[in-house]
Structure 1
């Protein structure tokens, strides 16, 4: 979910991708994905329209961290595209039959965030089986 050595590197990739999009410059595949998730969230676009990078130190309790939110979208898309963990593509397919794609990603993002938080609290690596169980509970 991180695309650089530091949080600022990751944030800069979001800014650079959005500005390249606005200037109609060619985009890499990753930049295209970043632009797509920003486009799906007009409430975040003003943040990226500026040239001043957001340096807010968001806390884990922050409900309004746009970088985390967009990063979770990207993570879900990558997981579905690669079917990793195995079975996530089928779960996504089942969910998207009853929800639109954006709502499906949001549902799945809650599960991903919960699993990551639990792993962090336990000082353990993320558990794919726990994650898949959370996702299956959405069906």
Structure 2
């Protein structure tokens, strides 16, 4: 959607949240982003101060979670589930939800698999392995 422009992507998040908070009309993608933000009150203050959020580096070595990456992964999962791509993920998601407290927790569990798949692809300079990804999610569905 935004290529590699981190600032533009972050600005989209902060602007969608601003519009949602002020009751402005949202396009469908903004609604999805705003709903994801709504589920993460721990990020509201950051998103309400966009000047500090746009350029901030979040350092995992210091125990920091990148809220934009986290919420972006939620959105990626929702898109995958909505389109059933990779094929079968929608049914696996429904199975993971049965073993989780709610759909949000199920997404958090599945994000581990998504993150692992993306990290391995980046580390090995190859395309993401959808079959390994689905195997990982199947293992969650069996728990």
Question: TM (normalized to structure 2)?
Answer: 0.90
| Structure 1 residue ranges (4+ consecutive) displaced by more than 4 angstroms after TM superposition | 59-63
Q: List alignment gaps of at least 5 residues for structure 1.
A: none
The SS at the match of 1:123 is coil
The residue aligned with 1:78 is 79
Task: Measure, in 1, the Cα distance between the counterparts of 2:64 and 2:51.
Answer: 22
Backbone CA RMSD of aligned residues: 1.4
1:133 equivalenced with 2:135 (yes/no): yes
Assess if the C-alpha contact under 8 Å between 2:59 and 2:65 holds in 1.
Answer: no
Q: Deviations over 1:6-64 (max 9, x none)?
A: 01010000011000011100001110111111111100010111242411123575651
Higher helix share: 2
Task: Measure, in 2, the Cα distance between the counterparts of 1:125 and 1:20.
Answer: 36
Task: Measure, in 2, the Cα distance between the counterparts of 1:89 and 1:4.
Answer: 25
Structure scoring higher RCO (CA < 8 A, sep ≥ 6) equals 1
Assess if the C-alpha contact under 8 Å between 1:116 and 1:126 holds in 2.
Answer: yes
Q: List alignment gaps of at least 5 residues for structure 2.
A: none
Task: Measure, in 2, the Cα distance between the counterparts of 1:120 and 1:18.
Answer: 30
Which residue, out of 116, 121, 124, partners 1:122? 124
Q: Deviations over 1:72-130 (max 9, x none)?
A: 00000000000000000000011112211010000011100000000000000111101
The residue aligned with 1:106 is 108
Compared CA separation, residues 63 and 108, structure 1 to 2 (3 A): farther
The residue aligned with 1:4 is 2
Question: TM (normalized to structure 1)?
Answer: 0.93
